[in-house]
Amino acid sequence: MVTRILHAWIWCGIPTNPTYDINPTRISNIISLMVIFVLLLQVPISAYYWRYDGLYKLGLIVSHCALLCFVPLLNRAQLQPLAKMALVFIFISYICWSSVIWQANVHVHYYLLLGIFVCPFIFSNQRVTMWLSILSHVLFFLLIDGFFILHVNPQELSEYHQTVSVSSSVFLALSCTLTSFHIGRNMTRTQQKLSLANQRSESLLLNILPLPIAQRLKYAKGKIADQYEQASICFVDLESFSLLVKSLKAHELVDLLDDVFTQFDQLSTYHGLEKIKTIGDGYMAAAGVPKSNNAHALQCCAYALAVKEAFVRLQIKYDLRTGLRIGIGSGEVVAGVIGRSKFCYDLWGEAVTLAARMESHGRSDHIQVTQSTYEMAKHKYCFEPRGEVSVKGLGQIQTYWLLGVKE
Protein backbone atom coordinates (compact mmCIF):
# COMPACT_ATOMS: atom_id res chain seq x y z
CA MET A 1 0.00 0.00 0.00
CA VAL A 2 2.77 2.42 1.00
CA THR A 3 4.73 1.51 -2.13
CA ARG A 4 1.70 2.27 -4.32
CA ILE A 5 1.22 5.67 -2.68
CA LEU A 6 4.90 6.58 -3.08
CA HIS A 7 4.88 5.41 -6.71
CA ALA A 8 1.75 7.43 -7.49
CA TRP A 9 3.25 10.50 -5.79
CA ILE A 10 6.57 10.31 -7.63
CA TRP A 11 5.02 9.74 -11.08
CA CYS A 12 2.18 12.22 -10.63
CA GLY A 13 1.77 14.32 -13.77
CA ILE A 14 4.03 12.23 -16.05
CA PRO A 15 3.70 8.81 -17.73
CA THR A 16 5.35 5.89 -15.97
CA ASN A 17 8.11 5.58 -18.51
CA PRO A 18 11.79 4.81 -17.82
CA THR A 19 12.93 7.59 -20.16
CA TYR A 20 11.39 10.16 -17.80
CA ASP A 21 13.68 9.35 -14.85
CA ILE A 22 15.42 12.74 -15.05
CA ASN A 23 12.24 14.66 -15.82
CA PRO A 24 12.11 17.90 -13.76
CA THR A 25 8.49 17.16 -12.87
CA ARG A 26 9.45 13.81 -11.38
CA ILE A 27 12.34 15.43 -9.50
CA SER A 28 10.03 18.07 -8.01
CA ASN A 29 7.68 15.31 -6.81
CA ILE A 30 10.58 13.43 -5.22
CA ILE A 31 11.94 16.56 -3.50
CA SER A 32 8.52 17.46 -2.09
CA LEU A 33 8.26 13.94 -0.68
CA MET A 34 11.77 14.11 0.79
CA VAL A 35 11.09 17.47 2.44
CA ILE A 36 7.90 16.10 4.00
CA PHE A 37 9.87 13.12 5.33
CA VAL A 38 12.53 15.41 6.86
CA LEU A 39 9.86 17.64 8.43
CA LEU A 40 8.05 14.67 9.97
CA LEU A 41 11.31 13.54 11.55
CA GLN A 42 11.24 16.78 13.58
CA VAL A 43 7.84 16.01 15.11
CA PRO A 44 9.26 13.83 17.96
CA ILE A 45 11.81 16.56 18.83
CA SER A 46 9.12 19.25 18.91
CA ALA A 47 6.90 17.03 21.06
CA TYR A 48 9.71 16.19 23.48
CA TYR A 49 10.62 19.86 23.91
CA TRP A 50 7.03 21.01 23.91
CA ARG A 51 7.67 23.81 26.43
CA TYR A 52 10.02 25.49 23.94
CA ASP A 53 7.26 26.73 21.62
CA GLY A 54 6.41 23.14 20.64
CA LEU A 55 2.91 24.12 19.50
CA TYR A 56 4.19 26.71 17.04
CA LYS A 57 6.83 24.35 15.68
CA LEU A 58 4.34 21.51 15.29
CA GLY A 59 1.90 23.85 13.54
CA LEU A 60 4.68 25.01 11.24
CA ILE A 61 5.58 21.42 10.33
CA VAL A 62 2.00 20.29 9.72
CA SER A 63 1.03 23.35 7.69
CA HIS A 64 4.06 23.11 5.39
CA CYS A 65 3.62 19.34 4.97
CA ALA A 66 0.04 20.03 3.89
CA LEU A 67 1.21 22.71 1.45
CA LEU A 68 3.82 20.36 -0.06
CA CYS A 69 1.02 17.95 -0.96
CA PHE A 70 -0.09 20.48 -3.56
CA VAL A 71 3.14 20.01 -5.57
CA PRO A 72 2.20 16.62 -7.11
CA LEU A 73 -1.42 17.75 -7.45
CA LEU A 74 -0.34 20.78 -9.48
CA ASN A 75 1.86 18.53 -11.60
CA ARG A 76 -1.09 16.21 -12.15
CA ALA A 77 -3.10 19.22 -13.36
CA GLN A 78 -0.27 19.91 -15.86
CA LEU A 79 0.69 23.10 -14.02
CA GLN A 80 4.35 22.14 -13.73
CA PRO A 81 5.84 25.68 -13.61
CA LEU A 82 3.45 26.62 -10.80
CA ALA A 83 4.26 23.39 -8.95
CA LYS A 84 7.99 24.13 -9.05
CA MET A 85 7.53 27.70 -7.86
CA ALA A 86 5.25 26.47 -5.08
CA LEU A 87 7.92 23.97 -3.99
CA VAL A 88 10.56 26.73 -3.79
CA PHE A 89 8.21 29.11 -1.96
CA ILE A 90 7.14 26.50 0.61
CA PHE A 91 10.75 25.44 1.24
CA ILE A 92 11.99 29.01 1.77
CA SER A 93 8.93 29.82 3.86
CA TYR A 94 9.60 26.93 6.23
CA ILE A 95 13.25 27.91 6.70
CA CYS A 96 12.36 31.57 7.38
CA TRP A 97 9.59 30.79 9.87
CA SER A 98 11.76 28.20 11.63
CA SER A 99 14.48 30.79 12.10
CA VAL A 100 11.96 33.24 13.54
CA ILE A 101 10.32 30.75 15.93
CA TRP A 102 13.52 29.22 17.31
CA GLN A 103 15.18 32.61 17.86
CA ALA A 104 18.59 30.93 17.96
CA ASN A 105 21.19 30.20 15.34
CA VAL A 106 20.71 26.44 14.92
CA HIS A 107 21.93 26.71 11.32
CA VAL A 108 18.64 25.55 9.80
CA HIS A 109 19.00 28.30 7.18
CA TYR A 110 21.97 26.44 5.72
CA TYR A 111 19.40 24.19 4.04
CA LEU A 112 18.87 27.14 1.69
CA LEU A 113 22.33 26.46 0.28
CA LEU A 114 21.19 22.92 -0.48
CA GLY A 115 18.24 24.41 -2.33
CA ILE A 116 20.66 26.34 -4.55
CA PHE A 117 22.06 23.05 -5.86
CA VAL A 118 18.59 21.60 -6.42
CA CYS A 119 17.35 24.48 -8.60
CA PRO A 120 19.18 23.41 -11.81
CA PHE A 121 17.49 20.01 -11.63
CA ILE A 122 13.91 21.25 -11.32
CA PHE A 123 14.29 24.30 -13.60
CA SER A 124 16.52 22.70 -16.23
CA ASN A 125 14.63 24.24 -19.18
CA GLN A 126 13.66 27.52 -17.51
CA ARG A 127 16.84 29.57 -17.17
CA VAL A 128 15.22 32.81 -15.97
CA THR A 129 13.07 31.06 -13.37
CA MET A 130 16.04 29.01 -12.23
CA TRP A 131 18.13 32.10 -11.56
CA LEU A 132 15.28 33.86 -9.78
CA SER A 133 14.94 30.81 -7.56
CA ILE A 134 18.70 30.61 -6.88
CA LEU A 135 18.91 34.31 -6.05
CA SER A 136 15.91 33.97 -3.72
CA HIS A 137 17.69 31.21 -1.80
CA VAL A 138 20.89 33.29 -1.63
CA LEU A 139 19.06 36.45 -0.53
CA PHE A 140 17.12 34.77 2.28
CA PHE A 141 20.22 32.89 3.42
CA LEU A 142 22.22 36.12 3.72
CA LEU A 143 19.35 37.95 5.43
CA ILE A 144 18.84 35.21 8.02
CA ASP A 145 22.57 34.71 8.60
CA GLY A 146 23.15 38.45 8.89
CA PHE A 147 20.21 38.72 11.27
CA PHE A 148 21.72 36.10 13.59
CA ILE A 149 25.24 37.56 13.39
CA LEU A 150 24.34 41.22 13.82
CA HIS A 151 21.17 41.16 15.96
CA VAL A 152 20.49 37.87 17.71
CA ASN A 153 24.00 37.12 19.02
CA PRO A 154 26.01 40.35 18.57
CA GLN A 155 27.47 40.16 22.08
CA GLU A 156 29.26 36.91 21.27
CA LEU A 157 31.28 38.43 18.41
CA SER A 158 33.48 41.48 18.09
CA GLU A 159 32.98 43.88 15.19
CA TYR A 160 35.90 42.25 13.41
CA HIS A 161 34.47 38.76 13.84
CA GLN A 162 31.04 39.97 12.75
CA THR A 163 32.53 41.39 9.54
CA VAL A 164 34.45 38.19 8.89
CA SER A 165 31.34 36.06 9.56
CA VAL A 166 29.18 38.12 7.21
CA SER A 167 31.84 38.12 4.47
CA SER A 168 32.31 34.35 4.90
CA SER A 169 28.57 33.85 4.46
CA VAL A 170 28.62 36.00 1.33
CA PHE A 171 31.57 34.06 -0.12
CA LEU A 172 29.92 30.77 0.77
CA ALA A 173 26.69 31.76 -0.93
CA LEU A 174 28.64 33.04 -3.95
CA SER A 175 30.60 29.77 -4.18
CA CYS A 176 27.39 27.74 -4.02
CA THR A 177 25.83 29.94 -6.72
CA LEU A 178 28.80 29.54 -9.07
CA THR A 179 28.86 25.79 -8.48
CA SER A 180 25.13 25.62 -9.15
CA PHE A 181 25.69 27.60 -12.36
CA HIS A 182 28.26 25.07 -13.58
CA ILE A 183 25.97 22.18 -12.60
CA GLY A 184 23.13 23.76 -14.57
CA ARG A 185 25.31 24.41 -17.61
CA ASN A 186 26.70 20.87 -17.59
CA MET A 187 23.18 19.48 -17.17
CA THR A 188 21.97 21.49 -20.16
CA ARG A 189 24.85 20.22 -22.28
CA THR A 190 24.28 16.66 -21.14
CA GLN A 191 20.57 16.86 -21.84
CA GLN A 192 21.25 18.29 -25.30
CA LYS A 193 23.63 15.41 -26.03
CA LEU A 194 21.09 12.91 -24.70
CA SER A 195 18.34 14.50 -26.78
CA LEU A 196 20.51 14.37 -29.90
CA ALA A 197 21.45 10.73 -29.22
CA ASN A 198 17.78 9.91 -28.61
CA GLN A 199 16.78 11.56 -31.89
CA ARG A 200 19.41 9.56 -33.73
CA SER A 201 18.27 6.30 -32.15
CA GLU A 202 14.65 7.19 -32.94
CA SER A 203 15.62 7.87 -36.55
CA LEU A 204 17.49 4.58 -36.81
CA LEU A 205 14.57 2.70 -35.26
CA LEU A 206 12.13 4.31 -37.68
CA ASN A 207 14.36 3.26 -40.57
CA ILE A 208 13.64 -0.40 -39.80
CA LEU A 209 10.21 -0.23 -38.13
CA PRO A 210 6.94 1.64 -38.79
CA LEU A 211 6.29 4.49 -36.34
CA PRO A 212 3.34 2.84 -34.48
CA ILE A 213 5.34 -0.39 -34.11
CA ALA A 214 8.44 1.48 -32.93
CA GLN A 215 6.37 3.24 -30.26
CA ARG A 216 4.89 -0.04 -29.07
CA LEU A 217 8.30 -1.68 -29.02
CA LYS A 218 9.68 1.13 -26.84
CA TYR A 219 6.88 1.29 -24.30
CA ALA A 220 5.02 -2.03 -24.37
CA LYS A 221 6.15 -5.35 -22.98
CA GLY A 222 5.83 -8.71 -24.68
CA LYS A 223 5.61 -9.80 -28.29
CA ILE A 224 4.23 -7.59 -31.03
CA ALA A 225 1.90 -9.67 -33.19
CA ASP A 226 -1.19 -8.40 -35.03
CA GLN A 227 -3.71 -10.00 -37.34
CA TYR A 228 -5.32 -8.04 -40.17
CA GLU A 229 -8.42 -9.31 -41.90
CA GLN A 230 -7.64 -7.35 -45.06
CA ALA A 231 -4.40 -5.88 -46.38
CA SER A 232 -2.60 -5.66 -49.71
CA ILE A 233 1.01 -6.54 -50.41
CA CYS A 234 3.14 -5.44 -53.34
CA PHE A 235 6.33 -7.17 -54.49
CA VAL A 236 8.68 -5.48 -56.96
CA ASP A 237 11.65 -7.25 -58.51
CA LEU A 238 14.35 -6.31 -61.01
CA GLU A 239 14.74 -8.82 -63.83
CA SER A 240 18.12 -10.31 -64.80
CA PHE A 241 19.72 -8.78 -61.75
CA SER A 242 22.57 -11.33 -61.67
CA LEU A 243 23.67 -10.16 -65.12
CA LEU A 244 23.50 -6.58 -63.91
CA VAL A 245 25.76 -7.41 -60.97
CA LYS A 246 28.42 -8.81 -63.31
CA SER A 247 28.35 -5.80 -65.63
CA LEU A 248 28.67 -3.08 -62.95
CA LYS A 249 31.37 -2.14 -60.48
CA ALA A 250 30.58 -2.35 -56.78
CA HIS A 251 30.02 1.38 -56.21
CA GLU A 252 28.00 1.65 -59.44
CA LEU A 253 25.73 -1.19 -58.39
CA VAL A 254 25.18 0.28 -54.92
CA ASP A 255 24.50 3.73 -56.36
CA LEU A 256 21.96 2.25 -58.77
CA LEU A 257 20.11 0.25 -56.11
CA ASP A 258 20.19 3.21 -53.74
CA ASP A 259 18.58 5.44 -56.35
CA VAL A 260 15.99 2.80 -57.31
CA PHE A 261 14.96 1.92 -53.77
CA THR A 262 15.02 5.56 -52.63
CA GLN A 263 12.47 6.40 -55.30
CA PHE A 264 10.43 3.35 -54.30
CA ASP A 265 10.55 4.55 -50.68
CA GLN A 266 9.35 8.02 -51.63
CA LEU A 267 6.49 6.59 -53.69
CA SER A 268 5.45 4.21 -50.91
CA THR A 269 5.28 7.13 -48.46
CA TYR A 270 3.36 9.25 -50.96
CA HIS A 271 0.75 6.54 -51.64
CA GLY A 272 0.39 5.52 -47.99
CA LEU A 273 2.18 2.17 -48.11
CA GLU A 274 4.56 0.83 -45.49
CA LYS A 275 7.92 -0.40 -46.69
CA ILE A 276 8.47 -3.84 -45.21
CA LYS A 277 11.89 -4.86 -46.49
CA THR A 278 14.25 -5.24 -49.42
CA ILE A 279 15.58 -8.66 -50.40
CA GLY A 280 18.51 -8.36 -52.77
CA ASP A 281 16.97 -6.75 -55.82
CA GLY A 282 13.43 -7.22 -54.51
CA TYR A 283 11.24 -4.68 -52.72
CA MET A 284 8.23 -5.43 -50.51
CA ALA A 285 5.64 -2.89 -49.38
CA ALA A 286 2.17 -3.21 -47.88
CA ALA A 287 -1.00 -1.16 -47.50
CA GLY A 288 -3.44 -1.59 -44.63
CA VAL A 289 -0.70 -2.32 -42.09
CA PRO A 290 0.11 -1.33 -39.41
CA LYS A 291 -2.84 1.06 -39.73
CA SER A 292 -5.90 -0.65 -41.16
CA ASN A 293 -7.89 0.99 -43.93
CA ASN A 294 -10.38 0.00 -46.61
CA ALA A 295 -8.46 1.47 -49.54
CA HIS A 296 -5.42 -0.80 -49.30
CA ALA A 297 -5.95 -2.43 -52.71
CA LEU A 298 -6.39 0.95 -54.41
CA GLN A 299 -3.24 2.23 -52.72
CA CYS A 300 -1.21 -0.74 -53.92
CA CYS A 301 -2.45 -0.35 -57.49
CA ALA A 302 -1.62 3.36 -57.52
CA TYR A 303 1.81 2.60 -56.06
CA ALA A 304 2.55 -0.15 -58.60
CA LEU A 305 1.68 2.11 -61.54
CA ALA A 306 3.83 4.91 -60.10
CA VAL A 307 6.76 2.52 -59.57
CA LYS A 308 6.46 1.26 -63.15
CA GLU A 309 6.49 4.83 -64.46
CA ALA A 310 9.45 5.83 -62.25
CA PHE A 311 11.45 2.80 -63.38
CA VAL A 312 11.08 3.84 -67.02
CA ARG A 313 12.90 7.07 -66.16
CA LEU A 314 15.56 5.09 -64.30
CA GLN A 315 16.06 2.84 -67.32
CA ILE A 316 16.80 5.91 -69.43
CA LYS A 317 19.04 7.45 -66.78
CA TYR A 318 21.21 4.36 -66.27
CA ASP A 319 20.76 2.85 -69.76
CA LEU A 320 19.29 -0.31 -68.24
CA ARG A 321 18.27 -3.29 -70.29
CA THR A 322 16.54 -4.99 -67.38
CA GLY A 323 12.81 -4.92 -66.75
CA LEU A 324 10.55 -4.87 -63.71
CA ARG A 325 8.07 -7.44 -62.43
CA ILE A 326 5.37 -6.37 -59.99
CA GLY A 327 2.87 -8.54 -58.13
CA ILE A 328 -0.01 -7.59 -55.82
CA GLY A 329 -2.05 -9.79 -53.50
CA SER A 330 -4.78 -8.99 -50.99
CA GLY A 331 -6.22 -10.85 -48.04
CA GLU A 332 -5.64 -11.76 -44.42
CA VAL A 333 -2.14 -11.31 -43.03
CA VAL A 334 -0.28 -11.62 -39.73
CA ALA A 335 2.27 -8.94 -38.84
CA GLY A 336 4.83 -8.87 -36.08
CA VAL A 337 8.33 -8.05 -34.89
CA ILE A 338 10.88 -10.85 -34.73
CA GLY A 339 14.52 -10.93 -33.67
CA ARG A 340 16.46 -9.83 -30.59
CA SER A 341 19.70 -8.17 -31.65
CA LYS A 342 18.24 -6.97 -34.98
CA PHE A 343 14.54 -6.25 -35.17
CA CYS A 344 12.51 -7.11 -38.24
CA TYR A 345 8.89 -6.17 -38.92
CA ASP A 346 7.48 -8.74 -41.32
CA LEU A 347 4.22 -10.12 -42.75
CA TRP A 348 3.02 -13.68 -43.18
CA GLY A 349 -0.04 -15.31 -44.67
CA GLU A 350 -1.57 -16.54 -47.89
CA ALA A 351 -1.91 -12.99 -49.23
CA VAL A 352 1.85 -12.51 -48.85
CA THR A 353 2.56 -15.78 -50.63
CA LEU A 354 0.17 -14.90 -53.44
CA ALA A 355 1.71 -11.46 -53.91
CA ALA A 356 5.17 -13.02 -54.11
CA ARG A 357 3.93 -15.57 -56.66
CA MET A 358 2.26 -12.82 -58.71
CA GLU A 359 5.66 -11.17 -59.01
CA SER A 360 7.69 -14.32 -59.69
CA HIS A 361 5.12 -15.69 -62.19
CA GLY A 362 4.68 -12.33 -63.89
CA ARG A 363 6.14 -10.78 -67.00
CA SER A 364 8.64 -8.01 -67.54
CA ASP A 365 7.16 -4.51 -67.11
CA HIS A 366 3.78 -5.96 -66.16
CA ILE A 367 1.73 -5.71 -62.95
CA GLN A 368 -0.04 -8.95 -62.04
CA VAL A 369 -2.75 -9.02 -59.35
CA THR A 370 -4.88 -11.65 -57.67
CA GLN A 371 -8.63 -12.11 -57.90
CA SER A 372 -9.21 -10.46 -54.51
CA THR A 373 -7.21 -7.37 -55.46
CA TYR A 374 -9.08 -7.17 -58.77
CA GLU A 375 -12.46 -7.30 -57.03
CA MET A 376 -11.55 -4.42 -54.69
CA ALA A 377 -9.99 -2.18 -57.34
CA LYS A 378 -11.92 -2.90 -60.56
CA HIS A 379 -14.22 0.11 -60.10
CA LYS A 380 -11.26 2.52 -60.39
CA TYR A 381 -8.62 0.68 -62.43
CA CYS A 382 -8.57 -1.10 -65.79
CA PHE A 383 -7.58 -4.77 -65.78
CA GLU A 384 -7.03 -7.42 -68.40
CA PRO A 385 -7.68 -11.08 -67.49
CA ARG A 386 -4.62 -13.23 -67.86
CA GLY A 387 -6.33 -16.48 -67.06
CA GLU A 388 -5.37 -19.10 -64.52
CA VAL A 389 -1.80 -19.46 -63.29
CA SER A 390 -0.47 -22.56 -61.56
CA VAL A 391 0.91 -21.58 -58.15
CA LYS A 392 2.85 -24.10 -56.12
CA GLY A 393 0.90 -25.10 -53.03
CA LEU A 394 -2.18 -23.14 -54.04
CA GLY A 395 -3.20 -24.70 -57.35
CA GLN A 396 -4.75 -22.77 -60.22
CA ILE A 397 -5.18 -19.05 -59.48
CA GLN A 398 -7.14 -16.57 -61.59
CA THR A 399 -4.99 -13.48 -62.18
CA TYR A 400 -5.23 -10.11 -63.96
CA TRP A 401 -2.89 -7.54 -65.49
CA LEU A 402 -3.24 -4.05 -64.08
CA LEU A 403 -3.29 -1.62 -67.02
CA GLY A 404 -4.05 1.78 -65.57
CA VAL A 405 -6.65 4.15 -64.13
CA LYS A 406 -10.14 4.25 -65.63
CA GLU A 407 -10.94 7.47 -67.43
- Averaged over 274-287, what is the pLDDT? 90
**So what's the pLDDT on residue 158?**
67
Q: Secondary structure of the chain: what % helix, strand, coil (to 5)?
A: 60, 20, 20
Model confidence at 188, in pLDDT bands (50, 70, 90)?
confident
- Averaged over 95-106, what is the pLDDT? 76
pLDDT exceeds cutoff 80 at 106? no
239 vs 28: CA distance, rounded Å: 62
**Long-range contacts formed by 13-20: CB under 8 A, 24+ apart:** 13/72, 13/74, 13/75, 13/76, 13/77, 13/78, 13/80, 13/83, 14/75, 17/219, 19/198
pLDDT exceeds cutoff 60 at 19? no
**286 vs 260, 265, 269, 304, 332, CA distance in Å?**
18, 12, 11, 11, 12
**So what's the pLDDT on residue 17?**
53
**So what's the pLDDT on residue 24?**
83
Q: Which residues, 6+ apart, have CB-to-CB distance to 351 below 8 Å? A: 231, 232, 233, 329, 330, 331, 332, 333, 370, 372
pLDDT exceeds cutoff 60 at 286? yes
The fraction of the chain above a pLDDT of 70, given in percent, is 94
254 vs 257: CA distance, rounded Å: 5
DSSP state string for 113-157: HHHHHHHHHHSTT-HHHHHHHHHHHHHHHHHHHHHIIIIISGGGS
Is 249 strand, coil or helix? coil
Residue type for position 407 = E
Query: How many CA atoms lie within 13 Å of 290's alpha carbon, on the beta-carbon side?
Result: 17
- Averaged over 70-89, what is the pLDDT? 88
- Averaged over 116-135, what is the pLDDT? 84
> Is residue 285 within 8 Å of residue 345, measured between CB atoms?
no
User: What's the chain's average pLDDT?
Assistant: 85
Model confidence at 110, in pLDDT bands (50, 70, 90)?
confident
DSSP code for 233:
E
- Averaged over 279-297, what is the pLDDT? 91
**So what's the pLDDT on residue 211?**
79
**230 vs 270, 295, 347, CA distance in Å?**
21, 10, 12
**Beta-carbon neighbour count of residue 36 at 10 Å?**
19
pLDDT exceeds cutoff 90 at 334? yes
Among the listed ranges 185-189, 329-333, 345-349, which one has the minimum average pLDDT value?
A: 185-189
**So what's the pLDDT on residue 179?**
86
- Averaged over 193-210, what is the pLDDT? 78
Is 77 strand, coil or helix? coil
263 vs 259: CA distance, rounded Å: 6
> 0.75 cut: is pTM over it?
no
Model confidence at 157, in pLDDT bands (50, 70, 90)?
low
pLDDT exceeds cutoff 70 at 121? yes
If residue 324 lies in a helix (H) or strand (E), which one and from where to where?
strand 324-338
Q: Where are the alpha helices (DSSP H) in 11-78?
A: 24-41, 43-48, 54-68, 70-76
Dump pLDDT digits (tens) for 294-332.
999 999 999 999 999 999 998 888 888 888 999 999 999
> Is residue 337 within 8 Å of residue 377, measured between CB atoms?
no
**So what's the pLDDT on residue 261?**
92
147 vs 145: CA distance, rounded Å: 5
Higher per-residue confidence, 225 vs 377:
377
Dump pLDDT digits (tens) for 30-45.
888 888 898 888 888 8
